Amino acid sequence: MARKRRVVVTGASLAGVRTARALRDRGFDGEVVLVGAEERLPYDRPPLSKKLLAGEVPLSGIQLLSRDEADALDLDLRLGCRASALAPARRMLALDTGEQLRYDDLVIATGSAARMPTDWEAYAGVHVLRTADDALALRSALAGSPHVAVVGGGFIGCEVASTARGLGCDVTVFEPLAAPMARVLGYEMALDLAGIPLDAGVRLRCGAAVERLEGNERVERVRLTDGSVVPADVVVVGIGARPVTDWLSGSGVSVADGVLCDEHCATSVPDVYAAGDVARWHNPLFGREMRIEHWTNATEQGAFVARTILEGPQSGGYAPVPFVWSDQHGVKLQIAGVPDPSHRVRIVEGSVAQRRFVALYERGERTAGVLAVNSPRGMVTYRRRLAQDDAAEGPAGARFAARPVAQPGD
């Protein structure tokens, strides 16, 4: 009997599960092995900083794949083990259990890991937020309304601040730029939106970096580069994430802040692909490399890779318009495209004062990004314009003009 084709997916989370499901949806009847470092069944991460952290949903409510579903899809689910090395010449993946897995096609979906300065790790009371275990640990740390210091005013930091404040904690966000989210939204818009956390009672310490944490075994204080000191019982470090690629060293797979891929999400070695947070691929729509740490990209790229494995290179390549959402203090922010602090920002619907508006980020005559605040319908309307403008810049964009945006109902 002919040997069945085997697709091995490393990383049993959003991009990996989406790849496995899409392979089956497209009728693939070979073997699908899903290797995941975490012991838990795959779960969704956006609720970790929102409803799960707030205690509004249990872990069972954010599962991406149950045992029964894995069985029904005939997935060989290997949880609690890590891919440790790759030998493309022999088409072998080594696991940290000592097992060697042969593959015909391999998908790298090992995601990203939270950054943490090494000298901060030693203190009790210092948290990152990437996994369900991180979220459960932070949830118990937030009980009893402690003083919470959130280091980093990006999306995750701002969401943790929102949830912690909602739980009655005294919260300070430390951001070296002039306002939270300024790196993504630009100063003008970020300063306008800073009123949202301030009105909710969050303290903002912007414009000075955190120099160090202080305390004995437990963290007690945050010291800033401007010399000031702020007491803290709990510190949440939200200073970004790094792609998980260390296990690929020596494999011949090219890596540079992510797994380098062409427009078909194929890596530098044959029959090895990457999807999700870990992938840095050439987006033909923008004519440049991108690595995107957003939910929608992980799902879409996983599905794209599955299709490419089964049908070969897709015309136009993988050319999405980036999309991300964030929920903070009861306000929903949605961003499409690639807004840049250098762009001109124009509010085209609603107003900042109403906390319901749509802003366009413009480069010359073109719309490069859309920010919708409490305006999902505005996002639908203006995202179309964004896609059309992108289409005007290159032939690949036309495919995406009318495509809906995937987003879970978290």
Ligand X SMILES: Cc1cc2nc3c(=O)[nH]c(=O)nc-3n(C[C@H](O)[C@H](O)[C@H](O)COP(=O)(O)OP(=O)(O)OC[C@H]3O[C@@H](n4cnc5c(N)ncnc54)[C@H](O)[C@@H]3O)c2cc1C
Residues interacting with ligand X, by CB under 6 A?
10-11, 13-16, 35-38, 45-46, 48-49, 82-83, 109-112, 129-130, 156, 244, 247, 276-277, 293-296, 298, 324-326
What is the closest distance, in whole angstroms, from the C-beta atom of residue 247 to ligand X in the complex? 4
Dihedral-angle region of residue 124 (phi above 0 means left; psi in -120 to 50 means alpha; beta otherwise): beta
What is the closest distance, in whole angstroms, from the C-beta atom of residue 236 to ligand X in the complex? 10
Query: Closer to ligand X at the Cβ: 35 or 215?
Result: 35
What is the closest distance, in whole angstroms, from the C-beta atom of residue 2 to ligand X in the complex? 29
Query: Closer to ligand X at the Cβ: 65 or 319?
Result: 65
What does DSSP assign to residue 255?
B
Query: Closer to ligand X at the Cβ: 96 or 211?
Result: 96
Q: Which residues contact 56 (CB under 8 A, 6 or more apart)?
A: none
d(CA 59, CA 170): 26
Query: Closer to ligand X at the Cβ: 14 or 215?
Result: 14
CA angle 286, 110, 19 (to 5 degrees): 70
CB atoms under 10 Å from CB of 224, counted, come to 17
Query: Closer to ligand X at the Cβ: 226 or 257?
Result: 257
What is the closest distance, in whole angstroms, from the C-beta atom of residue 334 to ligand X in the complex? 9
d(CA 358, CA 117): 37
Query: Closer to ligand X at the Cβ: 78 or 307?
Result: 78
φ, ψ of residue 151 to 5 degrees: the values are -95, 110
Q: Tokens at residue 393, please? A: 């810049």
336, 369 in Cβ contact below 8 A?
A: yes
CA diameter of the chain: 72
Burial of 377 (0-12, 13-18, 19+ CB in 10 A): exposed
What is the closest distance, in whole angstroms, from the C-beta atom of residue 405 to ligand X in the complex? 10
Burial of 50 (0-12, 13-18, 19+ CB in 10 A): buried
Query: Closer to ligand X at the Cβ: 215 or 375?
Result: 375
What does DSSP assign to residue 226?
T
What is the closest distance, in whole angstroms, from the C-beta atom of residue 359 to ligand X in the complex? 19
What is the closest distance, in whole angstroms, from the C-beta atom of residue 66 to ligand X in the complex? 16
- Helix, strand, or coil (residue 224): strand
